[in-house]
Chains A and B, each alone.
Chain A
Amino acid sequence: AQSVSQHNHHVILSEAASLELGCNYSYGGTVNLFWYVQYPGQHLQLLLKYFSGDPLVKGIKGFEAEFIKSKFSFNLRKPSVQWSDTAEYFCAVTRSSGSARQLTFGSGTQLTVLP
């Protein structure tokens, strides 16, 4: 079974600082990768996803992520964070083959951006 590790449980940044959130997965086969964001009191929203092709994926709100297959990583980045980026961020993975494509989530990273 696949698993996902998010190394940073809580990250605190000042506005305009650069962001990188780590995500590593364990699964020997081909995977699809996702980053979701959860704003306080809200449901999960898709930030970006990787299925194939260019390993550098651009998502909404200026976020991007890079898939590095050799490192089993899919780190999320943003060059300059805003106060409104305060939220919890989840990395998730599914297998690329097979009929059951349930998402496996990491434990999440709480990002706090100070004004």
Chain B
Amino acid sequence: DAGITQSPRYKITETGRQVTLMCHQTWSHSYMFWYRQDLGHGLRLIYYSAAADITDKGEVPDGYVVSRSKTENFPLTLESATRSQTSVYFCASSVPGGNYGYTFGSGTRLTVV
């Protein structure tokens, strides 16, 4: 689905470094989400946003920061990367209520060494 784009697709970073994962959607969906996918855990919600300048914590927010100055962008920042943050990160968007489902980006595979 070209409407939601994540970058980079792959990233290797060192422990302690700051890294930002980008998410851009072209549908003007008000809701955006960040999930991490780990074996045996499925997808777990990190942060979500209901609109520009409105964000809230999900299930596993520690070590992450988000911002949403524009509706279409929802970057996720790891302030000081740790090995436990090695994961695949998915961004998603939806309209309020999620009646049309949730659309996911292609994911960013992050490795922290």
Contacts and interface: CB of A to CB of B under 8 A. Distances in A.
B92 to A, nearest CB: 8
A105 B97 contact: no
Interface residues of A, number: 24
B43 A105 contact: yes
Contacts, number: 56
Interface string A76-92: 00000000000000100
A6 B107 CA distance: 23
B84 interface: no
Contact of A102 (B48, B103, B106): B48
A94 B96 CA distance: 12
Nearest to B33: A102
Contact of B45 (A42, A103, A106, A107): A103
A103 B42 contact: no
B98 A43 contact: no
A109 B50 CA distance: 30
Kindly state the interface size class of chain B when it binds its partner: 20 to 34
A49 B90 CA distance: 20
A43 B40 contact: no
A77 B31 CA distance: 30
Contacts of A36: 104
Interface string B16-30: 000000000000000
23 contacts: A32-B98, A43-B90, A43-B104, A43-B105, A44-B43, A44-B92, A45-B104, A46-B102, A46-B103, A90-B42, A94-B98, A100-B50, A101-B31, A102-B58, A103-B33, A103-B92, A103-B98, A103-B102, A104-B45, A105-B43, A107-B40, A107-B41, A107-B42
Interface of A: 4, 6, 32, 34, 36, 42-46, 49, 51, 90, 94, 99-108
Interface of B: 1, 31, 33, 35, 40-45, 48, 50, 56, 58, 90, 92, 94, 96-99, 101-107
